[in-house]
Amino acid sequence: MPVTMLDYGVGNIHSLKKALEAAGAQVEVAAEARDILKATALVLPGVGAFGKVASMIAPIRDELRAKLDGGLPALCVCIGMQILFESSEEGDGRGIGLLPGLVRRLRHERLPHIGWNGVKHGGAALFDGVADGVSFYFVHSFAPSSCGDGVTATADYGGAFAAAVEFKNVWGTQFHPEKSSDAGGLLIRNWVRLAEKT
């Protein structure tokens, strides 16, 4: 399955690309935001800051939202998931706005939240075959609320937060599946399978 992954130009995306290829995807990395509008399946990776990513997608925000709303399959990791929302306390700029609400700073005395944490998912399709409560690997200081529309999984770090979301054919994870051992590999394979069905 051909997949286009946007390179924000601020971090290493090699591990996610490798994990997608191991799951059977053929990954093309796009350095220009406009190139992702031609994607048949899209990955927004988990490196970067909200303001930087918002600025990069600003010229194509409305077109990208229309494509995602229209059924373009996408996997959005960490900052990629946060940019699906309207705005963030982390920085200026508008998100895609596919999901309502604000991305907030985690309410914990030690930030960033780095390491393994249990995820409660209750059987969402992206987690098929993954035990409820299994741990995934997180690196972040901000996250959407656990009670917003589209939230399919939660974790807790100074309070509950959204660990995964779903909107039509768009799936997002606040954690990094490419760094989450067997459970993460299974989740990525599940996404490839789900995307192929669309």
Structure-token match 């093309």, residue found: 28
Reply yes or no on whether 90 is catalytic. no
pLDDT, averaged across the chain? 96
Domain residue extents for the chain = 2-197
Which residue in 133, 153, 135 sits closest to 143, CA to CA? 153
User: Of the residues 28, 32, 78, 89, which is catalytic?
Assistant: 78
Vertex 18 angle, CA 117 and 21, to 5°: 115
Label residue 198 by pLDDT band (50, 70, 90).
confident
Angle between helical axes of 14-22 and 181-197 (0-180°, round to 10) = 70
Catalytic residue among 28, 121, 176, 196: 176
Question: What does the pLDDT look like over 120-159, one tens digit per residue?
Answer: 998 999 999 999 999 999 999 999 998 888 999 999 999 9
- Beta strands per DSSP E along the chain: 2-6, 26-30, 42-44, 74-77, 87-88, 102-105, 113-118, 135-140, 142-144, 151-156, 160-167, 170-173
User: Pick the catalytic residue: 90, 113, 121, 178?
Assistant: 178
Q: Please report the pLDDT score of residue 188 as a whole number.
A: 98
Amino acid 17: pLDDT: 97
Q: Known catalytic residue: 178?
A: yes
At 12 the pLDDT is 74
Q: Is 107 helix (H, G, I), strand (E, B) or coil?
A: coil
Hey, what CATH topology would domain 2-197 get?
Rossmann fold (3.40.50)
The pLDDT > 70 percentage for the chain reads 100
Answer yes or no: 21 catalytic. no
C-alpha span between 101 and 98 (Å, rounded): 10
| Mean local confidence (pLDDT), 88-103 | 95
